[in-house]
Amino acid sequence: MKMKAAVLRRFDAPQPFADSKPISIEEVTLDPPGPNEVLVRIGGAGLCHSDLSVMNGARPRPEPLVLGHEGAGSIVEVGSAITDVAPGDHIVFQFSPSCGRCRRCMEGRPQVCEAGAKAKAAGDLMGGGRRIVDADGNRIAHHTGVSCFAEYAVADRGSIVVIDKDLPLHEAALFGCAVMTGVGAVINTARILPGDTVAIIGLGGVGLNGVLGAKLAGAETIIAIDIADDKLGLARQFGATHTIDARDANHAEQVRDLTNGGVDFGIDLAGVIPAMKTAYEVTRYGGTIVTAGLSPSTAEFSFVQSNLVAEEKAIKGSYMGSCVPVRDIPRFISLYRQGRLPIDKLIGRQVGLDDLNEGFDRLQNGEAIRQICLPHGAA
């Protein structure tokens, strides 16, 4: 079928993207789904820093590719081997398809599936190869097996989670990345308990979900750290007990003073090395540092090894919030409906495919938390 898609052909374009236009909206051909794949009409797709890190070359990916990994839509067609979902079902994408058979999957950790990681790195789907073809007949890579900055997408059955039809798709999109990554990092990876003290560093869409997750978990002290006053204000609305400006040279000392030596959990949700350093510095002896922010692929974080031992700290990575999507996405949606995860407050403007370059300028400049792309027009 023919459709419009946002194709990224230049991976290091300078800002403003509105002028350099790394994303071009093209008419492409989308092959029909394979036996274990589905065709989805995109209802909403979030603009996320993970997309931005591909655009600016910080996270190298095969090129060209169709961007977009945080989205939701409705099934149009299912492959011949699929019997448990049907056309008309509403779904949320999850950006780490799993095979169910590798060692990681059998450990109950589908978010780090070995087969899924291999397919994503190649720009392919789990079934092998690519389904998007440009006007010159060239195959275009898929972004994390999703590529939802398009009117339609073909994805592996394991890349979707069925949801109730009464949840607006432009809201449902956020559960595919921002909610899973932020809330999951706090609840699943850190396993915060009532009474714990927590610092959340970086208050974008993922970080603010981290604040919400800490509140859900019953943290006694939730310290939100960022460089933007408006984001600090939102964090207070979402349950932060204290906010600290990361531009203050003594911001780490402020946290230690507030918590009598440091927090139980320092959580980096910014994806930059200064935020990771802050997370390490504000964590108490015997505490845990969790990072779910993806820094540039060449960035390195260092620490004094003897201090790590003497202070008995732990450092944990968190990919996709350590979520099992089929378990956690419905759980988080239920919490949203109860009013305990007000993620709709994160949504700013809605944009069309033609507005994506400008939208990523706003994201890069810190002028937006979550913008939602509506490939078929207004919700």
- Where along the chain do its domains lie? 2-176+342-373, 182-319
Q: pLDDT digits over 8-63, tens only?
A: 998 889 999 999 999 999 999 999 999 999 999 999 999 999 999 999 888 889 98
pLDDT at residue 378 tops 80: no
pLDDT at residue 297 tops 90: no
Contact (CB, 8 A) for 272 and 225: no
Mean of per-residue pLDDT scores for the chain: 96
* CATH code of the domain made up of 182-319: 3.40.50.720
Contact (CB, 8 A) for 184 and 323: yes
How far apart are the C-alpha atoms of 165 and 17, rounded to whole Å?
Answer: 35
How far apart are the C-alpha atoms of 45 and 360, rounded to whole Å?
Answer: 13
In degrees and rounded to multiples of 5, residue 167 shows phi and psi of: -85, 120
Give the residue with greater pLDDT, 2 vs 379. 2
Burial 260-279 (b: 16+ CB within 10 A, else e): eebbbbbbbbbbbbebbbbb
* Cα–Cα distances in angstroms (integers) from residue 62 to residues 54, 139, 141, in the given order: 10, 11, 6
pLDDT at residue 284 tops 80: yes
Q: pLDDT digits over 315-368, tens only?
A: 999 999 999 999 999 999 999 999 999 999 999 999 999 999 999 999 999 999
Angle between helices 251-258 and 273-282 (to 10 degrees): 30
Q: pLDDT digits over 87-115, tens only?
A: 999 999 999 988 888 999 999 999 999 99
Provide the CB-side half-sphere exposure for 231 (13 A, CA).
Answer: 28
How far apart are the C-alpha atoms of 68 and 49, rounded to whole Å?
Answer: 11
Contact (CB, 8 A) for 168 and 106: no
Give the residue among 228, 219, 300 at the shortest CA–CA distance from 267.
219
- Residue holding tokens 């699929």? 82
Record the tokens describing residue 44, joined without a space: 């909403």
Residue 56: predicted pLDDT: 87
pLDDT at residue 379 tops 70: no
Contact (CB, 8 A) for 141 and 150: no
Instruction: State how beta strands 263-268 and 283-291 pair.
Output: parallel
Type of residue at 139? R
In degrees and rounded to multiples of 5, residue 23 shows phi and psi of: -100, 125
Residue 251: predicted pLDDT: 98
How far apart are the C-alpha atoms of 21 and 18, rounded to whole Å?
Answer: 6
% of the chain beyond a pLDDT of 90? 93
pLDDT at residue 282 tops 70: yes
pLDDT at residue 86 tops 80: yes
Give the residue among 171, 146, 111 at the shortest CA–CA distance from 324.
111
Give the residue among 86, 68, 66 at the shortest CA–CA distance from 76.
86
Residue 296: predicted pLDDT: 85
pTM (2 d.p.): 0.95
Residue 11: predicted pLDDT: 87
Annotation: CATH topology of 2-176+342-373:
Quinone Oxidoreductase; Chain A, domain 1 (3.90.180)
Domains 2-176+342-373 and 182-319 share a fold: no
Q: pLDDT grade, residue 295 (50/70/90)?
A: confident
